[in-house]
C-alpha cells in the first residue's frame, strides 16, 4: 500500500474527514491540488460535464486516458484516482487488468475506481493481485442506472438496503481501500460506514460517511440545467465567466481591446 493510500485509510481511525473532488484537466487539477484536496477523481462524469454525452456509459477509454494523464501532470500532493469506464470492465471483465494498467503505468494514476456489477469483487481481486489499488462504488451506479430503475435514490426498501450493504462489504473484503456510496438514505450511509473497516466516501449518502465527493462543475455552478439535490453550489462561476466573456466581446466590437497596454511597438 502506497503512503498516499495508507494516509487515506488511516483517516478513518483518526476520524479525519476525506475531501474528494473530480477534475478533468490540468488547470482545474492544479487548483484542487493547491487547495489541499485529499483525492482527485478523474470521473467518468467527464461524459456529461465535458463531452456533452447523455450518460457516463458512453465515455470511452481514449477520452478517460487522455484526461487522466492531464490531471496527473498537474497533481503534486493529492491521490489521483480514475474511473474505469463501462467499456473497460463490464462488457468483458477479462480486459479490466489491461485497461487498469494503462491508467496506472502509462497515465500515472495512483488507483482506479470500479462501480459495482456482478463480477466486481473478482475484478477487484485480480487488479489488486497485479498491484493496482482499487476504490469501490456502490448505491447508485450511473454506468448501470437503467438496471436500478434510473438515476434515483437507492436502498430505500429494506431488501435493497441490505443488498447495498452486502455489496460494500464484498468490495472491502476483496481489498478495496475505500468505497464510494452514492445516492442512498443517510441512515444507510451511516450503517455502511459503521460496518466497513475501510473509509467510505459519500455523494448524496449523508454526513456520516468518512469523506465526501462532488462533481467539481456542479459545486462551482458550471453545470447547465438542474443538479442533484445532494449538490451544494459553493460558487456561481458560470455567471462570472459569462460576465467576463460579454465584457471582452463588447470591448472588441467597440475597438477598446486591445489598448496601448496590450500592444507592442517598434
**Structural domain boundaries in the chain:** 3-235, 237-266
Known catalytic residue at 58: no
Mean pLDDT of 135-150: 91
Question: Annotated catalytic residue: which of 182, 186, 195, 251?
Answer: 182
pLDDT of residue 224: 83
Mean pLDDT of 207-229: 95
Contact 112, 41 (CB under 8 A): no
Q: Half-sphere exposure of 8 toward its Cβ, with a 13 Å CA cutoff? A: 31
| CATH number of the structural domain 3-235 | 3.20.20.60
d(CA 32, CA 21): 8
pLDDT of residue 148: 85
The sign of the torsion formed by the CA atoms of 189, 194, 18, 62 equals negative
Cβ burial 226-261 (10 Å sphere, 16+ → b, else e): ebbebbeeeeeeeeeeeeeeeeeeeeeeeeeeeeee
- pLDDT of 124 over the 90 cut: yes
Predicted confidence band of residue 147 (pLDDT cuts 50, 70, 90):
confident
pLDDT of residue 188: 98
pLDDT of residue 145: 83
Q: Which residue has the cell 490540468?
A: 26
Residue 12 cell numbers, joined: 478513518
Predicted confidence band of residue 255 (pLDDT cuts 50, 70, 90):
very high
- pLDDT of 1 over the 90 cut: no
Mean pLDDT of 33-53: 97
pLDDT, tens only, 152-210: 999 999 999 999 999 999 999 999 999 999 999 999 999 999 999 999 999 999 999 99
Question: Residue 203 phi/psi, 5° resolution?
Answer: -140, 100
Kind of pairing, strands 178-182 and 200-203?
A: parallel
- pLDDT of 149 over the 90 cut: no
Amino acid at each position: 500500500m502506497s503512503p498516499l493510500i495508507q494516509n487515506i485509510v488511516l483517516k478513518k481511525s483518526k476520524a479525519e474527514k476525506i475531501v474528494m473532488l473530480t477534475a478533468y484537466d490540468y488547470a482545474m487539477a492544479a487548483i484542487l491540488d493547491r487547495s489541499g484536496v485529499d483525492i482527485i477523481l478523474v470521473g467518468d462524469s467527464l461524459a456529461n460535464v465535458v463531452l456533452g454525452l447523455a450518460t457516463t456509459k458512453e465515455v470511452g477509454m481514449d477520452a478517460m486516458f487522455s484526461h487522466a494523464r492531464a490531471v496527473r501532470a498537474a497533481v503534486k500532493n493529492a491521490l489521483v484516482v480514475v474511473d474505469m469506464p463501462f467499456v473497460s470492465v463490464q462488457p468483458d471483465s477479462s480486459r479490466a487488468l489491461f485497461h487498469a494498467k494503462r491508467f496506472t503505468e502509462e497515465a500515472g494514476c495512483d488507483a482506479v475506481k470500479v462501480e459495482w456489477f456482478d463480477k466486481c469483487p473478482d475484478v477487484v481481486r485480480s487488479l489488486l493481485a497485479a498491484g493496482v489499488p482499487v476504490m469501490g462504488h456502490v448505491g447508485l451506479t450511473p454506468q448501470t442506472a437503467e438496471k436500478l430503475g434510473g438515476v434515483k435514490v437507492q436502498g430505500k426498501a429494506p431488501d435493497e438496503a441490505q443488498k447495498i450493504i452486502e455489496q460494500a462489504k464484498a468490495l472491502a473484503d476483496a481489498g478495496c481501500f475505500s468505497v464510494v456510496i452514492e445516492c442512498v438514505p443517510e441512515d444507510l450511509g451511516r450503517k455502511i460506514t459503521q460496518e466497513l473497516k475501510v473509509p467510505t466516501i459519500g455523494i448524496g449518502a449523508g454526513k456520516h460517511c468518512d469523506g465526501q465527493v462532488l462533481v467539481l462543475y456542479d459545486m462551482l455552478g458550471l453545470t447547465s440545467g438542474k443538479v442533484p439535490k445532494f449538490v451544494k453550489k459553493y460558487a456561481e462561476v458560470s455567471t462570472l465567466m459569462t460576465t467576463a466573456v460579454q465584457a471582452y466581446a463588447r470591448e472588441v466590437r467597440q475597438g477598446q481591446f486591445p489598448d496601448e497596454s496590450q500592444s507592442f511597438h517598434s
